[in-house]
Structure formats: structure tokens, C-alpha cells
Amino acid sequence: MSTVPQMPKCWKVESKPHKFCPGCGHGLVLKALGEAIDELGIQEKAVFGADIGCSLLAWDFFDIDTVQTHHGRTTPVVTGVKRANPDTICIAYMGDGGGYAIGSQHLVNAAARNERITVILANNCNYAMTGGQMAPTTLPGMKTETSPYGRDVNEAGYPTQGPEMVAAITREGAYVARGTVSNLKQLKGYFKKALQNQMDGNGFSFVEALSTCPTNWRTNAKDTWAFLEKEMTQYFKVGEIKNPAAKEGESGE
């Protein structure tokens, strides 16, 4: 009979409970990621970069070599690591603000250069760490601290389609997918393929994970799931967008 928590092996036990809020999707994304890393057996070779955003709270989340970087700059830091030591397996972890706003030049250019790194982006439709401002991914009509009357698409545009954008500037070698913490098994599968794509030297891999932020959404558990599963998926289509391994007729999940 098990009386120890069933955490992924690469989670750092001493830093648990982790620093994320109750019900935070970051915990789920990193659980799926931890399992993916365990299953691929790459804990020792992995280098994990954490962006500023709530992702920074993961600076000591894993028993994995980790560097917490600046807001939006995790992609270049991790690119720098990989270029200098191609034996590492490099993961850049960031939020929608870090990835699609302040760090978008790094994201699109790393993608275009086909850097052999894996970028994982937790999309929670807002700037969570700073207290819930509008993000590029905020849904139309959604109220945030800087869209107090709801996001007006005429003023602020529609939610950024990150994976679609990344797909548009990458070529064959890239792996691009969007998962959700609502389907952790699938998400873990995407992570494994993304990491495998890096390990195979194919190229850039990118997974956006639809994630939850009950604190800034001001939702209870029920509404948290509902927002994730009903609202967000109206704008963000879950699935694989680009998969080099699926070339021969094999199709994504």
C-alpha cells in the first residue's frame, strides 16, 4: 500500500508543496512534463529554463538543472545552452505573456532558425504573476485588470494563435502542438514527442498547454474547469499542428 505521494521522479521533493496557487494549471503542466521526462529517462541531461511569470515559481521545482531567467528571455538562454552544449536536452518554460508578447521575437526567430530546443508555454489567458492583466491570449470579452470592461477585440484584437504562428514559420523538422491540462495523458504525449523531436535532432518543438489560473480568473473549481474546457477551446484548438514523425500517413492525436 502506497503512503508516499506519487510524484514524478524528477520532481524535487523538498520544494513540495510547490509555490503555485491552489488549482493552478502550472502544477499540472509540470506534472505531465515530469512524467514525460521520467518516461524518456532524460532527467540527467535535461536543462530547464523558467521564465518570469508564475513559471518562475518553478525555479526549484525539479531535480533537473534549472535556470530561472528574465521575462520573455528563456528562449534565448536555453538556445545559448543548447548551442554551446548540444548534448543537453533543453526546455524553455514560459507563460503566454512571456512567449507571445515580450519574448515573441525570440520565439519566432528560434523557430525560424529551427533551434533544437523544446518550448513549453502555459496559456492561462492572462498575465498571472503580475495580478491578472490582459495577455495576448485573453479571450474576447474577458475581464482582466487592464481590460476591466472586457477585452474589446476592436481595440485589442483577437487572442493570439501561438502554435499556428509558430507552425507558419517553421519547416519540416519542427514539432508543434497545443494540449490542455484537461487531458494530461495527451499533453504528456505531446511533450514526449516534442522532446523526442529535439533528441532526434529534427528541430524546434513547441507545445502550448491550455492552463488554469483560478486566482486571477476568480473561479472556483467548477468554473475553472468550465472556463478551460468550454471557453478557451472555442478559441484555441487542441491537437497536433506539425509533426515530423507523422509524415508517413500517421496522423496526430
Partner 1 sequence: MSVAYKALPFEGEKGSWTVFMSLCKGCGLCMEKCPKGCLSWSSHLGAYGTPTIEPNMDDCTACGICKAVCPDCAIAVVKKK
Partner 2 sequence: MSKTVKIALAGEGGQGVQSVAEIIAEAANEEGREALYIPNFGVEQRGGVSVAYLQIGDEPIGSPKFQTADIVVALSDRAVRRTKKYVGEETTFVYDTSIEGIEDDLPKNAARILAMPAIEVSKNELNPRVFNIIIMGAVIKATNVVSEDDAKAALEKKLGYKFEQNPSLRELNYNALSRGMELV
Partner 3 sequence: MTEKPIQEEKRAFLTGNEVVAWAALAAKADIMYGYPITPQNEIMHYWTRMAPKFGKRFLQTEDELSAGFTTLGGVLAGRKAFTATAGPGNTLMQEPMSMAEMMRIPSVVVVQQRGGPSTATVIYSQQEVTMTTFGGNGEGFRIVYSPSNHQELFDYTIKAFNTAWKYRFPTFVLGDGYQAKLRESLTLYDPEARGIELIEPEPFLGTEPVNGTKSYTNMRNTYNTEDELYDIIVRYGEEYKNIAPEVIEFQEFDCEDADVVIVSHGVVSRAAKGAVQELRSQGLKAGYFRPVTLRPFPADQLRAIADKTKTLLLVESSYGQMSKLVKEAIFGSTVALEYLLKPGVGVTSEELVAKVKQMI
Ligand X SMILES: Cc1ncc(C[n+]2csc(CCOP(=O)(O)OP(=O)(O)O)c2C)c(N)n1
- State which residue, 71 or 116, has the beta carbon closest to ligand X: 71
- Reference 91, options 11, 188, 194, 7; nearest CA is 194
- From 30, 37, 128, 195, residue interacting with ligand X (rule: CB under 6 A): 128
176, β-bridge pairs: 206, 242
d(CA 169, CA 241): 12
Smallest distance, ligand X to C-beta of residue 120, A: 12
Binding mask 24-53 for ligand SF4 (x = CB under 6 A): x-x---------------------------
**Is residue 201 within 8 Å of residue 116, measured between CB atoms?**
yes
Does 220 contact partner 2 by CB under 8 A? no
d(CA 51, CA 192): 21
Does 21 contact ligand SF4 by CB under 6 A? yes
Q: Which does 184 bind (CB under 5 to 8 A by kind): partner 1, partner 3, ligand SF4, none?
A: partner 1
Does 94 contact ligand SF4 by CB under 6 A? no
Return the residues of window 134-163 that contact its own copies according to CB under 8 A.
Answer: 136, 153, 156-158, 160-161
Q: Which does 21 bind (CB under 5 to 8 A by kind): partner 3, partner 2, its own copies, none?
A: partner 2
Which helix (H) or strand (E) covers residue 133, if one does?
A: strand 133-134
Q: How far is CA 123 from CA 33, 55, 104, 201, 245, in A?
A: 15, 11, 14, 26, 25
- Residues binding partner 2 (CB under 8 A): 19-22, 54, 56-57, 128-129, 131, 215-216
